[in-house]
Structure 1
Amino acid sequence: MTKSWGSSGRSRGAILDWLVRVNAQVSQWAASMSWWRLILLFVVILVAGSIIGETLGLKHERVREVRSGRDTVISIGGKDGIRITKTPRGAKDAVPAPPLPPRVGAPPEAPGGGDEAAAQTQEKAAEQAIEDAAQSVEKALSKALGDEEVVVRRQVVTFRGIVGDLGAAAMVILFAYLVASKIIVKKVAQADAKVRTAQDTAERETMERQLAQARLQVLQAQVEPHFLFNTLATVDYLIETDPPRASKMQKALITYLRGALPQMRQQSSTLGRELRLVTSYLDLIKMRIEERLEVEIAVPEALRSAEFPPMMLQTLVENAIKHGIEPKPDGGKVRVAASLQNGQIAVEVSDTGVGLPDGELLDGPTSGTGVGLQNIRDRLAMLYPGRSTLMLHSGAAGGTLVRITLPHRVATEPAAQGMPPEGKLA
């Protein structure tokens, strides 16, 4: 018994799977058709169904009754052909009329050897003759019987008529199914396309963020070897010649590294935090090149809590020292300033060094050819698309000026650990 139930369940499952596959294939086929082709298909099916119905006689019998006076009924059509019933008052028996030609739909006997086409032609001719005779009899009897007459038309349900009705309903259901399938499949395809587009966009944005983050980490990991080695060499030299100064320079280097190394692992920072790191860096440089470097910091206290990408300001200051101040025999001045303009924070790093080389583009958001500036441009484009700029100018008093503008947002994260307060060395 269990085996029988299991076999029956598997059979129903197989049939259901087959129906699902057929439905999917038909739906896809309907969706691939244009609307005018679908309508043309329905018209063709409708015409074919009408021809088949007429050929097979798939319709109900039609009967017309003429009631004249109170005791005469004339029935035309139906299984009895034409029938006249006269019921006298008080009598229940009907008096049938003389037999008339057979009813519509009964084909005459075809002679031996006649083909099917001739038989169908004779059948249609007989049906038309009976219909004409019925109309003539109806008019003649109605006129002869006189009195008040009432014409009643009714339909006699037949098996062929039921089959015809079912066929017509099936055609309508089929057309409605094809139309619904086309609409639903198209809507589902559009929804799937939107989902795929959204997924592709999300994946692309994720990859872009990961790429930007990777570039950021690479840039943050670039501790200037030239600067570090020169500083250590200077410390080693001062240990032998000027131990107090060597000790001070060593403490400044420790302060810088204590702030720089954890900062390289951060994904966000503040302008104040970056200024403290830059101040430590400039202290080291000033100890090494002494009176050749002058430093000015002009950043309002209210802007020091603003968000600022980590190590970006450090890169600008390093470029000013390396490409502006160090190549100039007399040295120069490095100035770091910040201001708030129309909801954006503008940070400037300027120097009075050797200035831009010949042929360098002086103005524009894509000025600058150094690797550090290129990385800064890419990071700004990723972090603030369409809302940030990097501009390189020739300074008014010689040298170079670099300006970064980005949206002003106050940071909510606490200050990074390991960075001492500004002005205090470890």
Structure 2
Amino acid sequence: MNPNFTATCKQFLTTLPDKLARAFDTTATWVTQLSWWKFFLFAMLVLAAGAITQETLFTSSNKVNVSGHGPSAKPVSGRSKLVNNGESRITIDSTGIHIHDNKPDSASAPDNDDVHIKLPPEVSQQVQGVIADAVDDAATRKAETWRETSSDWFMNFVLLLVLGLFGTKALMGGKKRAEAQAVIANAAAEREAMQRQVSEARMQMMQAQVEPHFLFNTLASVEHLIETDPPRAARMQHSLIQYLRAVLPQIRDSAPVTNLGREADMVSAYLELLKMRMEERLIVDCRIAEGLRSAAFPPMMLQSLVENAIKHGLEGKPEGGSLRISAEVAHNRLRVSVADTGLGFGAVASDGTGLGLQNIRERLALMHGNNAQLIIMPNPSGGVIATIEVPYTLAR
């Protein structure tokens, strides 16, 4: 036997179970995805196709009329062998019926009759015709029986196929739908995770833009005091070192959400530095209830509002003013406001950085969509009131 053919057969038999399993899984998936009315329509089409195929392949178009008497009987001329069952051979001719024994010792003389029944020629011809018709009738009946059996097997196979598909859909439909829903849910979760990672990366990038802005402003104040009042600059430098030791761990934290208490403490430390430079020109009033310190709040946003109020409102005003920080909860929303009594809108030109308020708006949109906002309005006492409104939740 060809070794390549043997190896091919072994490989085919080895992979056959996997191929059958994949074919069944593919068929089951396709069937379960069909709606019930489509499945019943498909089943009716299969049954109709099976009936047409049965009619075409297994129904005989030739009807044989078999009769022991009639024109089918043929005359005999000479000897005609009719039956040979291995042990005996029967022939009928005009002289009668000849029965021969098919034994080895009689092989040398095949023409010698073992049994000879003499009949008149007319009777011999009639007997031969009857036997020929009986043989034809038996063959025809055998063929018809084979057609009927094959037809029954074929239709039973079609019915079993339809019933199998029905059972597959009824029993495995829920499982396949659950698997499909699980795949869809996993894909949606992966998309949401990727979107969340992108949003967090953008927020961290914008937060990184705020941190140098804060540090540069503070160092610029120290540099200015070194030239004008070295002792105060030394004290401010010492306070800055203490401040950075307290807030740098929070600045390095990449969490997109912190709590309002930490942000308020960092802003208070920052304002202490500014009061060393502005002295009595800066009055600070922080009104954040103890119960709201655990509320979730985006990092560095309160710092940005305070810096914006100092730089564009109070720092350029000769007599200075007050800065009030407050927080409240209304309709399950946290509102944190920074109100100053400074110069008001447009009194001081921007230095072109443009990071503060626009940065806050973009970060709020990334974190909460339309559920958060930054509101800027004039202060009735002069200056500006900036308010950040976010959903009220507790920080983790």
TM-score when normalising by structure 2: 0.63
Aligned to 2:321: 332
Amino acid at match of 2:289: P
Cα deviation, residue 228, structure 1: 2.8
Aligned to 2:381: 397
**Partners of 1:235 and 1:250 within 8 A in 2:** no
**Partners of 2:226 and 2:233 within 8 A in 1:** yes
Cα deviation, residue 314, structure 1: 0.7
Q: Which stretch shows the higher mean deviation, 5-14 or 331-340?
A: 5-14
* 265, 269, 290: which one aligns with 2:258: 269
CA-to-aligned-CA distance 1:244-301 (integer Å, 9 cap, x gap): x233312321232223321112224322221121112112222223333222111122
User: Is 1:290 aligned with 2:279?
Assistant: yes
The 3-state SS of whatever aligns with 1:55 is coil
Cα deviation, residue 162, structure 1: 2.9
**Partners of 2:29 and 2:176 within 8 A in 1:** no
Q: Which stretch shows the higher mean deviation, 344-353 or 201-210?
A: 201-210
Amino acid at match of 1:167: F
Counterparts of 2:321 and 2:145 in 1: how far apart (Å)? Answer: 112
Amino acid at match of 2:359: N
Counterparts of 1:389 and 1:110 in 2: how far apart (Å)? Answer: 108
Counterparts of 2:316 and 2:73 in 1: how far apart (Å)? Answer: 121
Counterparts of 2:61 and 2:169 in 1: how far apart (Å)? Answer: 33
* 325, 329, 342: which one aligns with 1:353: 342
* 217, 223, 228: which one aligns with 1:227: 217
User: Is 1:48 aligned with 2:57?
Assistant: no
* 237, 260, 268: which one aligns with 2:247: 260
TM-score when normalising by structure 1: 0.59
**Partners of 1:292 and 1:331 within 8 A in 2:** yes
Aligned to 2:392: 408
Aligned to 2:268: 279
Aligned to 1:236: 226
Cα deviation, residue 206, structure 1: 1.7
**Partners of 1:220 and 1:311 within 8 A in 2:** yes
- Structure with more relative contact order (C-alpha pairs < 8 Å, separation 6 or more): 1
**Partners of 2:325 and 2:339 within 8 A in 1:** yes
The percentage of counterpart residues that share the same residue type is 36
Aligned to 1:119: none
Amino acid at match of 1:174: L
Unaligned runs of 5+ in 1: 58-80, 82-100, 112-156, 359-368, 413-426
Counterparts of 1:275 and 1:110 in 2: how far apart (Å)? Answer: 121
Counterparts of 1:110 and 1:271 in 2: how far apart (Å)? Answer: 115
Amino acid at match of 1:395: N
Amino acid at match of 1:270: N
**Partners of 2:287 and 2:326 within 8 A in 1:** yes
Structure 1's 212 and 247: CA in aligned 2 closer, same or farther, altered over 3 A? same
Amino acid at match of 1:205: E
Superposition map of 1:78-93 within 5 A: none
**Partners of 1:208 and 1:382 within 8 A in 2:** no
Q: Which stretch shows the higher mean deviation, 374-383 or 394-403?
A: 374-383
Counterparts of 1:29 and 1:409 in 2: how far apart (Å)? Answer: 47
Unaligned runs of 5+ in 2: 75-143, 348-352
Aligned to 2:126: none
* 137, 146, 161: which one aligns with 1:174: 161
User: Is 1:372 aligned with 2:352?
Assistant: no
The 3-state SS of whatever aligns with 1:337 is strand
Superposition map of 1:27-106 within 5 A: 35=39, 36=41, 39-55=44-60, 102=67
Cα deviation, residue 192, structure 1: 5.9
Aligned to 1:197: 184
Counterparts of 2:226 and 2:186 in 1: how far apart (Å)? Answer: 57
RMSD: 4.1
